[in-house]
Chain A
Amino acid sequence: MSRAAVEPVESRPLLQVDGLVVHYPVSRGIVGTLTHKPRQRVHAVEDISFALGRSEMLALVGESGCGKTTTGQAVLRLVDAESGSILLDGRDIAKLEHGELRPLRRRIQIIYQDPYESLDPRFRVRETIEEPMLIHGIGTSKADRHERMVAALQRVGLHPPELFTERYPHELSGGQRQRVAIAAGLVLEPELLVADEPVSMLDVSVRAGVLSLLDELRRSGLAILMITHDISTAAHFADRIAVMYLGRIVEEGRAGEVVTDPRHPYTRALMSVVPKRDPRDRSTPQILTGETPNPIHVPPGCRFHPRCPVAQAVCSTEDPGLEAVADASDDHRAACLFTRLAGPGFPATAAPASTT
């Protein structure tokens, strides 16, 4: 058979994002509008592509303003893509009209960073979990919905469920609230879960519990797009990591490989500044100066070059694409003209001769 136009269902990823671009217009204000000041745009996400399979967890890792949350929102169709395609199970959802979105919303659920704010304080746990079922017409009767609600509570580790059904959010701990938020998503039996910083508001002692729950859900078939600033968490729980900087994916690969053999200077710097637990482990952190530039005025060439410790003249003019790195797995890609060529152990600060 020649290359089939339609890939077999098993090998097709659940989510395939190609060339996604999201821009936000910047308000010019009344003076700007009257004087026809040129309209500026925030280049939140600029041409990114990734795929996510069933039973897989992909972590989008980066600092504030890198576009990771916007990417998640575009997948959920909470923001509109300027261009690019978002294939869910082979169907492009990027261009769906708003009327067609409801069935999609059932298939993709999100859990937010702050369970103190994402749960309605006036809803009991039971109501929080039953409401999405009512909206999406799931469950044949009240008894059926109750059964599904109890099953969801059990699935997220709130035992025994009857202890929690009648409680209000203020009667729950942070970890329990986040579990309720996850249960409210699970009752719709989604295929894809977007988890936007699911544990960063929680106490360190309960984070691992919530992350292990996500890991269990992944094993049971759910695809999870985790959005996090914490590369250590991503290294532990995700199958693959995509590191984002200023609207672009700068490095992508298997989680273990990206953290042990990072090829992009930005990933290397990120890894070096993660605080070490062992006081004897005093490798010098490679602290980048300044902060991520304003995404309205994106630097030309490689977006990272103004802060890059190994930048060459060519980096300010040539935009490196995300390409496979040498001496690594096929799916390990980095967007750097130099470091992706170098094997493991390549010193982070050495600069190879310019190719121009």
Chain B
Amino acid sequence: MSGPLLQVEDLHVWFDLPDGGNLHAVQGASLSLSKGERFGLVGESGCGKTTAILAMMGLLPPSATVDGRILLEGDDILAGGDSSMRPHRWTDIAMVFQGAMNALNPVKTVGFQITEPMELHGLASGDAARRHAGELLEMVGISADHADRYPHEFSGGMRQRAAIAMALACNPRVLLADEPTTALDVMVQAQILQLLVALSNDLGLTLVLVTHDLPVVAEICDRAAVMYAGKIVETASMDALYHDPRHPYTRLLFAAIPDPQGKEEVVSIPGAPPRLDRPLVGCPFQPRCDRAFEPCRTTCPELRTVDAEHAAACHLNDPALMVSS
């Protein structure tokens, strides 16, 4: 079996703040993605999910400092700065931005917006590009003759499909999708999720689904990482995350979403994620945690393996600490 397609190792992102300080948005995140895998990146707003995938695209603003390694088939594409990142952006790693369906250019046809990246990357032009745009539209479930239409002639679900077609224009191997279904109705959400599954199956596309909605991830992903305060606090198969969560945040995130049968109690997680513009003492989740104990106030738990393919950053998994307390 071949090695992982895309690896992120010890990724850090700092943003410079106007007052001279900085905000440590991503604090040492590591991921390993194999070909054709569907992976979820989950957490509340402000926990660093979007920053992490923008770093993987090399699209962070100049105020950001990025450190770590991003390996595409073993080659570090982060080390050489923008010049080493650019050849892979869109052609190897592509992204559907949050709210992309509302960010299409209103005065250009949808077809033009899909052919533009192909022409800019020199992959196709003229009739060939238009033909490929038609194929892409068909692939995402839109009739090819709709290429001449403008975004306002599309419904929300169709605009989201068009945004996905745009991201696929240069035949990427990895698709990063940031909250692709958040503003959509449940039925349209189900259609888009079905499309993402079909694309990953048919094209062998590696999909990273970024969302705050754990059930959406549970619906289509094989594995997921839960982020909190810039760190990955738990990563495992979806099955293990739901049936055997080893971090209280994961368990509470599941419990915060009502189950459709209306049976289990819904909980809210008190408080809010911590500010990341100052150093944190102890576990960042400790003030909101229902199972915090003494070590959580002083020491930040490391992400450690708790089971095969399952890691969590919580002192509750440390037998030595549990015995002494």
Mark A residues whose CB is within 8 Å of B.
63-64, 173, 203-212, 229-233, 235-237, 255-256, 259-260, 269-271, 273-280, 285, 287-288, 291
Q: How far is the CB of B154 from chain A (nearest CB, A)?
A: 10
Whether B157 contacts A277 by the Cβ 8 Å rule is: no
Whether A205 contacts B186 by the Cβ 8 Å rule is: no
> For the complex, is B83 an interface residue (Cβ under 8 Å from A)?
no
Could you say which of B45, B185, B260 has the most chain A C-beta atoms within 10 Å of its C-beta? B260
9 contacts between A and B (CB under 8 A): A64-B156, A204-B212, A205-B44, A208-B258, A211-B266, A229-B186, A273-B186, A278-B243, A279-B237
Number of residues in B with C-beta < 8 Å to the partner?
A: 42
Q: Which of B3-11, B52-60, B267-275, B308-316 contacts A (4 or more CB under 8 A)?
A: B267-275
Q: How far is the CB of A62 from chain B (nearest CB, A)?
A: 9
> For the complex, is B213 an interface residue (Cβ under 8 Å from A)?
yes
Q: How far is the CB of A329 from chain B (nearest CB, A)?
A: 16
Whether A203 contacts B44 by the Cβ 8 Å rule is: yes
Complex CA gap A294/B258 in Å reads 31
Complex CA gap A205/B226 in Å reads 14
* A-B pairs with lowest CB-CB distance, top 10: A235-B262, A275-B215, A209-B268, A208-B268, A273-B190, A205-B269, A63-B185, A275-B219, A232-B258, A279-B238
- The answer, among B189, B218, B256, B272, for a CB contact under 8 Å with A207, is B256
> For the complex, is B112 an interface residue (Cβ under 8 Å from A)?
no
> For the complex, is B325 an interface residue (Cβ under 8 Å from A)?
no
Whether B190 contacts A285 by the Cβ 8 Å rule is: yes
- Chain A residue nearest in CB terms to B190: A273
- The answer, among A207, A212, A237, A274, for a CB contact under 8 Å with B260, is A274
Whether B239 contacts A259 by the Cβ 8 Å rule is: no
Whether B253 contacts A204 by the Cβ 8 Å rule is: yes
Complex CA gap A312/B9 in Å reads 57
List the A side residues contacting B216 at CB < 8 Å: 275
Whether B258 contacts A235 by the Cβ 8 Å rule is: yes
List the B side residues contacting A232 at CB < 8 Å: 257-260, 262
Known: A64-B185, A270-B186. A277 touches B254 (CB 8 A): yes
List the B side residues contacting A256 at CB < 8 Å: 262
- The answer, among A209, A233, A280, for a CB contact under 8 Å with B258, is A233
> For the complex, is B13 an interface residue (Cβ under 8 Å from A)?
no
- Chain B residue nearest in CB terms to A285: B190
Whether A279 contacts B218 by the Cβ 8 Å rule is: yes
Q: How far is the CB of A135 from chain B (nearest CB, A)?
A: 32
New contact pairs (16) apart from A205-B252, A235-B258, A277-B215, CB-CB < 8 Å = A204-B213, A207-B256, A209-B268, A209-B270, A229-B185, A231-B260, A270-B186, A275-B216, A276-B260, A278-B218, A279-B237, A279-B239, A280-B243, A287-B190, A287-B194, A291-B155
Complex CA gap A203/B156 in Å reads 22
List the A side residues contacting B102 at CB < 8 Å: none
Whether B239 contacts A269 by the Cβ 8 Å rule is: no
Complex CA gap A270/B219 in Å reads 15
Complex CA gap A236/B187 in Å reads 20
> For the complex, is B242 an interface residue (Cβ under 8 Å from A)?
yes
- Chain A residue nearest in CB terms to B267: A208
Q: How far is the CB of A199 from chain B (nearest CB, A)?
A: 10
List the A side residues contacting B289 at CB < 8 Å: none
Whether A275 contacts B252 by the Cβ 8 Å rule is: no
Q: How far is the CB of A207 from chain B (nearest CB, A)?
A: 7
List the B side residues contacting A271 at CB < 8 Å: 260
- The answer, among B253, B259, B262, for a CB contact under 8 Å with A255, is B262
List the B side residues contacting A270 at CB < 8 Å: 186-187
List the B side residues contacting A237 at CB < 8 Å: 258
List the B side residues contacting A255 at CB < 8 Å: 262
List the B side residues contacting A207 at CB < 8 Å: 256, 266, 268
Known: A204-B213, A255-B262, A276-B218. A173 touches B186 (CB 8 A): no
